[in-house]
Amino acid sequence: MTKGEKKPRAAWQPKGQKQPRGGSFVPNISTMNFKWRCDRLDWDGPWSWHKIGLQLALSDVIPRLHQFETMTWAEVEGPTGSHFIDCQTLCKDAQDRLQKIQENTDQLFSLRLGGKYRLWGVRDLATLRLVWWDPDHSVYPTEKKNT
């Protein structure tokens, strides 16, 4: 450097890497494990939990729910036959019952346990909050293909 040459200087030095402000991590629900709760069970009406019977609940339904707990939501929604259904496409009785129990949601999740057995609930992040026991697939009846 020669005399009279100026050396550039920074007024300040930035600290490490930038950090975003105000945003938070949004979890990918499909990678989270399935969870369930019984805090919204409907104890009256056509899909009442009173109708399930203790033997069936303890021998079939709860063990199947425990199997689902080992799966991610992507696996539950995959080949198991479980999926979301828009409430406006449910049978009229189911739509009326949702209004009566004041379940304000646009979609319910149909959890297929096998055969016609379905559990219906509201998904809250990675937790399915169970509402109905549907042993006859009557909340959202479908016709078999090729019949």
In what side-by-side order are the strands of the sheet with 117-124? 35-37, 127-134, 117-124, 107-114, 83-86
Q: Model confidence over 39-73: pLDDT tens digits? A: 999 999 999 999 999 999 999 999 999 999 999 99
Q: Model confidence over 69-116: pLDDT tens digits? A: 999 999 999 888 999 999 999 999 999 999 999 999 999 999 999 889
- Quote the CA–CA distance of 92 and 79 in Å, as a whole number: 28
Token pair belonging to 66:
């425990």
- Read off the pLDDT of each residue in 122-144 and give the average, rounded to a whole number: 92
pLDDT bracket for residue 139 (50, 70, 90): very high
Q: How high is the pLDDT of residue 23?
A: 63
If one counts every other C-beta atom within 10 angstroms of the C-beta of residue 132, the result is: 25
